Structure 1
Amino acid sequence: MATKDTSLTLALVSLMIHFNWKWVGLVISDDDPGLQFLSDLREEMQTNGICCAFVHVVPATNQLYLARTGIYYKQIMTSSANVIITYGDISSILGETSRTWQYLGPGKIWVTTTQWDVISSKTALNLDLFHRTFTLSQHHPGVYGFQKFIQTLKHSKYLKDISLEKLGWLYFNCSLSESKWKSLCSFSSNVSLELFTQHTFNVAMSEESYHIYNAAYVLAYSYHELLLQHVDIQYMAKDYRPQSDCGKLNHLLKNMQFTNPVGDLVNMNQKGKLDPAYDIFHLWDFQESLQVKVKIGQFSPYLPQGQQLQLLEDMIEWTTGSRQIPPSVCSITCTPGFRKSHQEGKAPCCFDCIPCPENEISNDTDMEQCLKCPEDQYNNREQTHCLQKAITFLAFGEPLGMALAFMALFFCALTSLVLGVFVKHHDTPIVRANNRALSYILLISLIFCFLCSLLFLGRPNTATCILQQTTFGVVFSVAVSTVLAKTITVVLAFKLTTPSKRMRWLLVSGAPNFIIPICILIQLILCGVWLGTSPPFIETDSHSEHGHIIIVCNKGLVSAFYCVLGFLGSLALGSFTIAFFARKLPDKYNEAKFLTFSMLVFCSVWVTFLPVYHSTKGKVMVAVEVFSILASSAGLLGCIFVPKCYVILLRPDKKT
C-alpha cells in the first residue's frame, strides 16, 4: 500500500543542503527496505557533496545488537557529525535504540523518516532534547472524524485490541498519581481514551494508519467490483458471495484505482504510482509533559528545481529558541581567498583551507580550484577579486624618469657650454693642438647622445621604439669613431719625428678622418639589417611589477642589438688599445692619456651594462640602458674635454 519512496532521499538531501549539513551519520535497519534506502541515499548524497561520517546497520536480532551497541553508541557520541539520519520500522530494535541514543546524546540532531511517537517523562526528560528532532512523513490530508473516534473509543468495545495497563505504562510512564490510576482502572470496562489524549497520546493519523485506511477501501472497492461482475454473470442466488475467486480478486486489487473519501488518488498499479510529497515536522518538548510537533515545511518533487523544499524559518527559530542552526561539517568552510585541499585517505568533505597562489583568486566559499586572473588584471590583497592593472611606463613625471631627464638635459647643456668655449677659443694652441674639427664633431655627437636618452622616456610607440636603438647606435658610432680618429691622429703626429713620406701624407691628407664615415656606414648597414628582419616593437609586460602593465619596447632581433653594441665595443676597444700604447708620448696636454681614460670608462660602463641589463625587467631595464648611455657619454665628455676647459678658463698661462 505504501507509495514509492524515490523522492524521500531527495527530500532528505534537500534538507541537508538547506542547513548546510555536509557531514552526517546514518543509522539504518538491517532489512531490504533499509539497505535499498541506504544505497539510494548514498548516491544522492555523493551527487550533492554530502559525506557519511559513519554508517550503522542495526541488526534485526537482539544478540547481534547487544554485541555491537557499545561500538555504535561510542562512535555516534564521539563523531564530529552533529546530524544523524535514521531509517527503519519504529517497532524494530532500531526504534528502541534510537530512543536510547536520543536520551543519552542530546547534542545531536536527529532526522527520522517516519512519525515516531517520542514519549516524554516528567521526571527524567531533558527539556533541550526533542527540539533537535526532525521528522519527514508522507503528506496526506487528515481523515475527517478520526480524532473524535479515537477520543471516544471505548475499551469495552475493543477489549482485545486495547490494554489500559499497557497504555498507562507506555504513555504515562507511571507518572500518574496512584489515586488517579486506581480511579482509571476501576472504570476499565467502559473508559475512553480521552484521558490519554489530554497528555502525550498523539491522535493524528500516522502514515501506517493512513495506508491501512486506504487498504480497507481498496479491498472494499475490489469486492464491490467482483460482486458486480458476479451478478452480471449469474442469476441472483441465495448465497451470491464469491467463495473461491481469489484469482479474480487479485487481478482487481492489482489494477484498482479510485479517489478515497479525503480526496487522494489511490492507485494500486506499481508503474502508475506517483512520488509523494513529504511534510517536515519539528519535535519540541514545550513543558514537562507536553510535546509539540510543529509542521515547518514541505517537500514536493513536482515543483521546479530550487523550489521543491519550502521551510518556515521563523517556526524553526521559535521551536529551537535559537536563531542559529548547529553546524554539521567535517571541516570549516573555506572563505573567499582560500581553496580546498583534500586530506589524503579521508572523505571529500574533510579538507584543509590553503591560500590561493599569486595572481589567483577564489570569490566563493569552498572552492575546489582558484581562478587565475586575466593578464590585464591582478588579485587584491585578500585574493577575492581581480582588479584592473594600471598601465605604466618610464614616464617623465615619475621620480626616476625626472632624474634621468634632468641628467640628460644637464649634460647636454654642459656639452653645449664646452662646445661654446672651444668655438670661442678656437685660435688658442690647446684647441688647435686638439684637432678642432674632430673636437667639434665629438662634442656635437655627445649632445645627440645625451638627447637620444630622452627617447627612452615617456609612453613608447612604434616610432620611438625604432628610433631608440637606431639613433643610439648611429650617434655613438660617430662619437666613438671620432675618438678613434683622434687617437690615430695623435699617434701619427708623434711618428713624424722619424721622417716618412707615407706618415706625412696620411696626416696632411686627413686620412684618419675617413674612419668616421666608414664606421657610420657599417653601423647603418647593421641597423638596416636589424630593421629589415625583425625591428623593435611595443610589448606589454604584465609580470614584472604587481598590479601594473608595463609598456616597453621589445628589441625584436636581439642578436642585431648585440651586433650594434658589439661594433661600438670593438671601436672603443681599438681606441683604448691604441691610446694605451701611446699614453707615454711626449704630449704637453697628455691627449693620449685622456683618450685612454675615456675609453676605459666607456668600456667599463658597457661591460657592466650587460649583466645588470639581463637581471632586470620592466621599467628598471629601460632605466639601466638610459643610465649607461648617460654614464658613457659623460665619461667621454669628462675625460677628454674637462681638463682642456680647465686650462682654457682657469690656467691661461699654460695655453702655449
Structure 2
Amino acid sequence: KHYYQVLALMFAIEEINRNLNLLPNITLGFHIYNAYPNDERTLESSLMWLSGQGQTTPNYSCEKRKSVVVIGGATSDLTVSMGSLLELYKFPQITYGLFDPLLSDPLQFPSVYQMAPTDTYLICGMVRLMLHFKWNWVGLVTSDDSRSEKFLRDLQEEMTRNDVCVAFTEKIISGQKGDIDVYNYFIINILMSTAKVIVIYGNTNSLLSWMFTKIPHVIVTRVWITSSHWDIAKKPSYIYFNNFHGALIFSDQTSKIPGFKHFLKTIHPTKYPEDTFLKNFWETAFGCTYKHGEGDEGVCSPNASLDTLRLSYLDINMSDQSYTVYTAVYAVAWALHKMFLVRSEMESDIDGDKRVFHPWKVRISGLGKCLGRYKDRINILHMWLLLLGIRLKVMWKTMEYSHHGVLFLPSNEVGTPPQSRCSKCGPGFQKKSQEGKPVCCFDCVPCPEGHISSKTDADRCVKCPEDQYSNKKRNQCLPKVVIFLAYEEPLGMALASIAACLSLFTALVLWVFVRHKNTPIVKANNRDLSYILLISLIFCFLCSLLFIGRPNAMNCLLRQTTFGVMFTVAVSSVLAKTIIVVLAFRATRPGSRGRKWMGSRAPISVVLFCTLIQVLLCAIWLLLSPPFPETDTHSDCEHILLVCNEGSFIAFYFVLSYMGVLALGSFTVAFLARNLPDTFNEAKFITFSMLVFCSVWVSFLPTYQSTKGKMMAAVEIFCILSSSTGLLGCIFIPKCYVILLVLAIVLIRNFEKISEKTFGA
C-alpha cells in the first residue's frame, strides 16, 4: 500500500516531464527514502537525504543535484520528526496524511504544508450518516495523540448538537500491543456496549496493533465508520479483519487519472533497475525470486504486470493518499514553473548547464497557495471481505455539500441497516427523559387517549383532529362514526314502535270512554278532564318520536317544549281530578260552598292556568336561549354525537321542576283523599299513578346526567313512555276493566233473554 503511493509519484513526474507546457526544458527527478516508525531512524533518513548517499555528515552534502521539496509525512509523528531537522535548512515539506491542527501553526512549522483538508467535512459527514440511519448511540475509538484528541472533541460537539450520544470512548496508546489485560478490557468494553456502530480514527499503526495480537481473535459484529487514511486493507492472512466486514469508509472525492492504469502495466523492475523497493515488492507480490545485479528476470515472469495482481495487493483505482501524492507533485511543479515565469522572484546559480534552486525560494514563491483544496464531495466506500482474503472497497454513496454548507446524502441504500440506539420508542409512545442519563436514553410512555405518534422516538404525541380518534395502539387516527338515535337501528325502532302502540292504545281507551260517556264511572270526576287527560297522553306518547332521528333545528326546538307542555296538561288534569274528588266530598256536607264548584268550569280553568304558566316558561326559554343541534366530539372518543343542546339548562330544569311541583301537589292531595268513602273515588288510583310518575322522573335526573348522545335521548324517551303508561294504567285501566266487564255481563244477559224467547224456558 505504501509503495502504491510511490507509483503515483513516479507517474506524476513522468507525466510532467512529458508535458511541454509545464516546466519546459526541465526534467524533474526524485529520491525515495524509507521511513521508520521511530524518531531515531527518521532523523537518520533525513540526514542521509541532506548529506547524500554516503556518510551522514551534518551541514555537508556531496550531492550535486539537490532536491528542493520533501513530500512525506503520512503521519503527524513522521512529519514532526522530519520537520524539526528540515526546518533548520528551510526545506519545504508537503505532508499528505490527515490534517493536523498542530502542523498548521506558522510559528512552529512555517515550512510544512498540508495537502489534506480539515476534518470538518469528515466530522459533518459522519454525523450526517448517523442521522441518516438514525444511529444515536455510537462508540468512539481513537489513538492517543493530539490530532485524534481534537477530532474526538469536535466530533462529540457535533454529535451533541444533533442529539447523537456517545456510548463509550476508548483511546489506544501506541506500544500497548503486548499488554493482554488492556486488550481484553478494550474488547470487553466493545462487546458489552449496546452500541452497534463504532467510529474509529487515528494513527493506523497504533490501532492496528490491537488486531495483530497473539491472543485468539474475537469476532466483533459492529458497524465500523472510519476514513480512508485508516488503512485496514493489510496482510490478508490475518483473520482479525473479519471484524471490518461491512465497514463504511469516508474517502475524498478524487478525479480519475487518465493513463494511470496503462502506467501500471508498464511498471517492471527492468524499467527501473535502481529502484530496490520495486524489486522487493515484486517478489512479495508475485511470489517469485528476482535475481539482483544484472537485471535479468530469473524465475519471475518477464510478462508480469501490476494490473494482474489480486485486489488484496493493489487497488485498481488510485487511493486517496496516492491521489494526494499525485496532486502534491503537480503543486511543486507549478510552483517551480511560476519561478521561471517571474524572474524577479527567482534566484539561480549557473553550474555548467545545470540550474541549482534554493529551497526557501520555492517555499516563498507561493507553494502553499496551490495546496489545501477543500473538497465539496465525499465518497463513502463499503468494505467487503471476499474469499482468499480479498478485500473489496465498493462505492456506496456520495455525499455532496449544498450551497448552504449542509451535507446531502442520497437515499439509495439496499437492505436493512442495523440499529444502534440506547433506547427506542415505537409508534404509539412518546419519550420521557431519564434523570442523569444522556438524551438518547429515555423511557417510553404510551400516548394518552386521543393522541398518537406514528414514528419512532417521538418527542411528544400529536393530538388527533376533532373528527378522528386514536386506535388502541395509539399509532393511527381513525375517523369517528357519526351516531344519533335513528329510526333504522333496533333501539330507535323499538322505542318508536312502543310509542305508536301506546298512543293507539290510549286512543282506544278514549274511544271506549266516549262510547260509554253516559255511564256513571265515566261521569265520575269530570269526564271532560278524562278526555283532556287521554288526549294529552296520546300526544305525550307521540312527542317521544321527536327525540328519534337526526337532530335538526326544528325538532330541537320542539322536543323539550312539546314534551313540557303536554305533560303539564296531563299532570294539571290529574291535579284537577284530585281537586274534584276533594270538592265532591265537601259538597255532600250541608251548607258547603263546594257545591257551586262541582258543576262549573273551574277544573278546566285549573288545567288552562297551569298550562299557561308552562307555556310562558317555554316561550321565555325559546326567546332567550333556544335549543339547537350540536356536534359533540368530546364526550365519546370514538364517535361524533349529534345531539340537541338545550341552550339554557336552567330553563330546562325550570320546566321539569314546574311539572314536578304539579305532580307533587297532585300526589299529596290524592294521598290525603285516598280513604274518602265512595264507590267512584279516584284518589287511590291517582295516588298510585302519581307515585309511579314521580318515581320515574326522580330516577330520570341522575340517569339523564350520566349518559351522553343517543342514550340520553333513549333515557328521556323511556321516562316519557313509562310515566305516561303509569298515568294511563293506574287511572284508566281499572275503569276500562269495569266498563268492559259490565258490557260483557249485559251482553251475556241479553243473549240469555234472546235465547229464552227463541227456544223457550
**Shared topology, TM-score over 0.5?**
yes
Q: What does 1:201-350 correspond to in 2, within 5 Å? A: 201-202=313-314, 205-230=318-343, 246=360, 249-253=362-366, 256=369, 267-268=370-371, 273-302=373-402, 308-309=408-409, 325-331=417-423, 334=426, 336-350=427-441
Q: What does 1:421-440 correspond to in 2, within 5 Å? A: 421-440=512-531
> Are 2:260 and 1:120 aligned?
no
- CA positional deviation for 1:324: 5.2
Deviates more, 1:462-471 or 1:226-235: 226-235
Which one of the candidate residues 566, 590, 601 is aligned to 2:681? 590
Question: Helix, strand or coil for the counterpart of 1:280?
Answer: strand
Question: Helix, strand or coil for the counterpart of 1:623?
Answer: helix
Q: Is the 8 A contact 2:348 2:357 kept in 1?
A: no
> Are 2:601 and 1:513 aligned?
no
- Identify if the C-alpha distance between structure 1 residues 311 and 95 changes in structure 2 by more than 3 Å, giving closer, same or farther: farther
Q: How many angstroms apart in 1 are the aligned matches of 2:209 and 2:270?
A: 28
Q: How many angstroms apart in 2 are the aligned matches of 1:474 and 1:312?
A: 74
Which one of the candidate residues 23, 37, 46 is aligned to 2:151? 37
Q: How many angstroms apart in 1 are the aligned matches of 2:157 and 2:345?
A: 52
> Are 2:572 and 1:481 aligned?
yes
- 1:438-495 Cα shifts (integer Å, max 9, x gaps): 1111111111111111111111111111111111111111111111111111111111
> Are 2:274 and 1:157 aligned?
yes
Q: How many angstroms apart in 2 are the aligned matches of 1:233 and 1:125?
A: 55
Aligned AA (2:535): I
Which one of the candidate residues 90, 96, 99 is aligned to 2:204? 90
Aligned AA (2:579): I
- CA positional deviation for 1:528: 1.8
Aligned AA (1:223): L
- CA positional deviation for 1:517: 1.4
* Residue 96 of structure 2: aligned partner: none
Q: Is the 8 A contact 1:110 1:134 kept in 2?
A: yes
* Residue 722 of structure 2: aligned partner: 631
Aligned identity (percent) is 45
Which one of the candidate residues 161, 175, 186 is aligned to 1:72? 186
- CA positional deviation for 1:641: 0.7
Which one of the candidate residues 162, 171, 176 is aligned to 1:57? 171
- 1:58-97 Cα shifts (integer Å, max 9, x gaps): 3457599988544332211222222221111323x23433
> Are 2:524 and 1:456 aligned?
no
Question: Helix, strand or coil for the counterpart of 1:201?
Answer: coil
Q: What does 1:341-360 correspond to in 2, within 5 Å? A: 341-351=432-442, 353-360=444-451
- CA positional deviation for 1:125: 2.1
Q: How many angstroms apart in 2 are the aligned matches of 1:278 and 1:209?
A: 16
Q: How many angstroms apart in 2 are the aligned matches of 1:74 and 1:566?
A: 80
Q: Is the 8 A contact 1:99 1:118 kept in 2?
A: no
- CA positional deviation for 1:642: 0.7
- Identify if the C-alpha distance between structure 1 residues 32 and 151 changes in structure 2 by more than 3 Å, giving closer, same or farther: farther
Which one of the candidate residues 622, 633, 636 is aligned to 2:713? 622
Q: Is the 8 A contact 2:432 2:445 kept in 1?
A: yes
- CA positional deviation for 1:581: 1.0
- Which ranges of structure 2 fall in alignment gaps of 5 or more residues? 1-114, 747-761
Question: Helix, strand or coil for the counterpart of 2:141?
Answer: strand
Question: Helix, strand or coil for the counterpart of 1:7?
Answer: helix
- 1:212-241 Cα shifts (integer Å, max 9, x gaps): 343333334333433443468899966996
Q: How many angstroms apart in 1 are the aligned matches of 2:545 and 2:412?
A: 72
Q: How many angstroms apart in 2 are the aligned matches of 1:198 and 1:238?
A: 45
Q: Is the 8 A contact 1:113 1:136 kept in 2?
A: yes
Q: Give the greater-gyration-radius structure (CA).
A: 2
Aligned AA (2:325): I
Aligned AA (1:565): L
* Residue 420 of structure 1: aligned partner: 511
- Identify if the C-alpha distance between structure 1 residues 653 and 504 changes in structure 2 by more than 3 Å, giving closer, same or farther: farther
Deviates more, 1:544-553 or 1:354-363: 354-363
* Residue 2 of structure 1: aligned partner: 116
Q: How many angstroms apart in 1 are the aligned matches of 2:622 and 2:573?
A: 25
| Number of positions where the alignment pairs a residue of Structure 1 with one of Structure 2 | 618
Q: How many angstroms apart in 1 are the aligned matches of 2:254 and 2:181?
A: 40
Deviates more, 1:370-379 or 1:341-350: 341-350
Question: Helix, strand or coil for the counterpart of 1:132?
Answer: coil
* Residue 23 of structure 1: aligned partner: 137
- Identify if the C-alpha distance between structure 1 residues 633 and 499 changes in structure 2 by more than 3 Å, giving closer, same or farther: same
- Which ranges of structure 1 fall in alignment gaps of 5 or more residues? 257-266, 315-322
* Residue 261 of structure 1: aligned partner: none
- 1:503-538 Cα shifts (integer Å, max 9, x gaps): 222334343432111111211121122112211111
Q: Is the 8 A contact 2:200 2:225 kept in 1?
A: yes
- CA positional deviation for 1:275: 2.4
Q: What does 1:636-651 correspond to in 2, within 5 Å? A: 636-651=727-742
Q: Is the 8 A contact 1:477 1:523 kept in 2?
A: yes
Q: Is the 8 A contact 1:6 1:275 kept in 2?
A: no
- CA positional deviation for 1:585: 0.5
Q: How many angstroms apart in 1 are the aligned matches of 2:478 and 2:129?
A: 38
- Identify if the C-alpha distance between structure 1 residues 347 and 105 changes in structure 2 by more than 3 Å, giving closer, same or farther: farther
Q: How many angstroms apart in 2 are the aligned matches of 1:311 and 1:495?
A: 100
- 1:302-345 Cα shifts (integer Å, max 9, x gaps): 5999994468857xxxxxxxx654443334562x4444455554
Aligned AA (1:481): S
Q: Is the 8 A contact 2:433 2:442 kept in 1?
A: yes
Aligned AA (1:229): V
Q: How many angstroms apart in 2 are the aligned matches of 1:561 and 1:391?
A: 26
- Identify if the C-alpha distance between structure 1 residues 649 and 89 changes in structure 2 by more than 3 Å, giving closer, same or farther: same
Q: How many angstroms apart in 2 are the aligned matches of 1:150 and 1:11?
A: 37
Aligned AA (1:438): L
- 1:396-445 Cα shifts (integer Å, max 9, x gaps): 12111111111111111111111111111111111112311111111111
Q: How many angstroms apart in 2 are the aligned matches of 1:311 and 1:215?
A: 34
Q: How many angstroms apart in 2 are the aligned matches of 1:153 and 1:515?
A: 135
- CA positional deviation for 1:7: 2.0
Q: Is the 8 A contact 2:401 2:407 kept in 1?
A: no
Aligned AA (1:277): R
Q: How many angstroms apart in 2 are the aligned matches of 1:498 and 1:639?
A: 29
* Residue 551 of structure 1: aligned partner: 642
Deviates more, 1:63-72 or 1:9-18: 63-72
Q: Is the 8 A contact 1:453 1:626 kept in 2?
A: yes
- Identify if the C-alpha distance between structure 1 residues 232 and 254 changes in structure 2 by more than 3 Å, giving closer, same or farther: closer
Q: How many angstroms apart in 1 are the aligned matches of 2:413 and 2:554?
A: 68
- Identify if the C-alpha distance between structure 1 residues 333 and 582 changes in structure 2 by more than 3 Å, giving closer, same or farther: closer
Q: How many angstroms apart in 2 are the aligned matches of 1:503 and 1:648?
A: 29
- Identify if the C-alpha distance between structure 1 residues 26 and 189 changes in structure 2 by more than 3 Å, giving closer, same or farther: farther
Q: How many angstroms apart in 1 are the aligned matches of 2:410 and 2:628?
A: 62
Question: Helix, strand or coil for the counterpart of 1:448?
Answer: helix
- CA positional deviation for 1:126: 6.3
Q: How many angstroms apart in 2 are the aligned matches of 1:341 and 1:99?
A: 44
RMSD (Å) for aligned C-alpha atoms: 3.8
- CA positional deviation for 1:591: 1.1
- 1:153-191 Cα shifts (integer Å, max 9, x gaps): 8896245x6895x999xx78xx97xxx6xx56x648969
Q: Is the 8 A contact 2:245 2:385 kept in 1?
A: yes
- Identify if the C-alpha distance between structure 1 residues 98 and 368 changes in structure 2 by more than 3 Å, giving closer, same or farther: farther
- Identify if the C-alpha distance between structure 1 residues 24 and 198 changes in structure 2 by more than 3 Å, giving closer, same or farther: same
- 1:135-169 Cα shifts (integer Å, max 9, x gaps): 2221223554563576548896245x6895x999x
